[in-house]
Homo-oligomer: A and B are copies of this chain.
């Protein structure tokens, strides 16, 4: 029996396995510290297409194709795809997936989307609704800056609290077939709003949601931070990390030894000038699909809590004076192999 745990969590009786993953990224990510963990690095920011948006769609497409290829499955064996990105009306996902002919659930959780997709995908497998599902999330520096901030040609200055949107897409095949690496459970986030109004400081906007999610996960499962080898946030960056650690400390949990942030790991700020770190749906998706999965495969880590975080804003809400609420989705991933 799948179990409801506490207020916001589920534990699966037969944990879905992560059959394969794929991470495809752009040039800058391919020059960063995690370069050896990505499946494909594209030098051309539009992947030979006409626009950044079409390039991002191609990233989605390539990530899906690669994940399916690595799983050894045929496309027809995948019953659902759960997909999302940052662009208005999810155009990166739509045009990246439109020729795949797989039933689609479109998701928006800002940069938490990789977690939202894994959560719903795992729920779908564990309920017996599908033998395999595909989940995918993407972002692109060019399309995101164009949509959320300034035209790249304008060459605006970036405050040190700003993050750099990752160009990349991470895809995951979840399955009811046994596998070493499984999704044991999930914790689903609520919207958390601390009233942050600085769109150049997404880390501060998202950290309270990450803290609330991690707190709730530990409460719901009655675990300590040290029950995890890593607690992995998506893209808080350096500024957000400090806030997260402090908020959890204030609530009785010290996660300093376990915490890792994909946004901090993916670039080398000293060389790459990325300020607070990487961000975007693609940031946590490619870091999870590449680096974290490898650490789990080699059993350097045996249990991680993956917590992608999203900042819920648009230029419209921001310009109308609204705050930037955050949300986070938590996924418990384990290596259960012998």
Binding site for B on A (CB under 8 A): 1-2, 4, 8, 10, 50-51, 53-54, 79-80, 84, 86-91, 94-95, 97-110, 116, 119-120, 123-124, 126-130, 147, 188-191, 193, 312-317, 320, 322, 325, 327
Contacts A127-B127, A191-B104; A313 near B89 (Cβ below 8 A): yes
Are A87's CB and B322's CB within 8 A?
Answer: no
Is there contact, CB below 8 Å, between B188 and A104?
Answer: yes
Tell whether, in the assembled complex, residue B189 and residue A91 are in contact, meaning their CB atoms are under 8 Å apart. no
A-B CB contact pairs (8 Å), 26 listed: A2-B128, A54-B320, A84-B108, A86-B89, A88-B147, A88-B315, A89-B108, A89-B110, A89-B313, A89-B317, A90-B108, A91-B313, A91-B314, A91-B317, A94-B191, A95-B325, A98-B193, A100-B190, A100-B191, A103-B190, A104-B189, A104-B190, A105-B107, A106-B108, A106-B109, A123-B129
- On whether the beta carbons of B88 and A190 are closer than 8 Å, the reply is no
Contacts of A99 in B (CB 8 A): 193
Residues of B within 8 A of A189 (CB): 103-104
A110 CB → nearest B CB, Å: 7
Docked CA distance A42–B131 (Å)? 46
- Complex: A320 Cα to B53 Cα, angstroms: 9
Q: In angstroms, how far is the closest chain B Cβ from the Cβ of A146?
A: 8
Look across to chain B and name the residue whose beta carbon is closest to the beta carbon of A80: B188
* A322, B322: Cα distance in complex, Å: 32
Asked if A79 contacts B4 (CB within 8 A), the reply is yes
Q: How far is the CA of A126 from the CA of B128 in the complex (A)?
A: 11
Residues in chain B near residue A10, CB distance under 8 A: 129
Report the bound CA distance from A98 to B327 in whole Å.
Answer: 10
Known contacts A1-B128, A90-B312, A312-B90; is-contact A317 B95 (Cβ 8 Å): yes
Name the distance in Å between A79's Cβ and chain B's nearest Cβ. Answer: 7
Are B128 and A317 neighbours in the complex by a CB distance under 8 Å? Answer: no
CB distance from A234 to the nearest CB of B (A): 15
* B8 adjacent to A103 (CB under 8 Å): yes
Q: Give the shortest distance, in Å, between A261 (CB) and chain B (any CB).
A: 22
Q: Which residues of B sit under 8 angstroms from A98, Cβ to Cβ? A: 191, 193, 312, 325
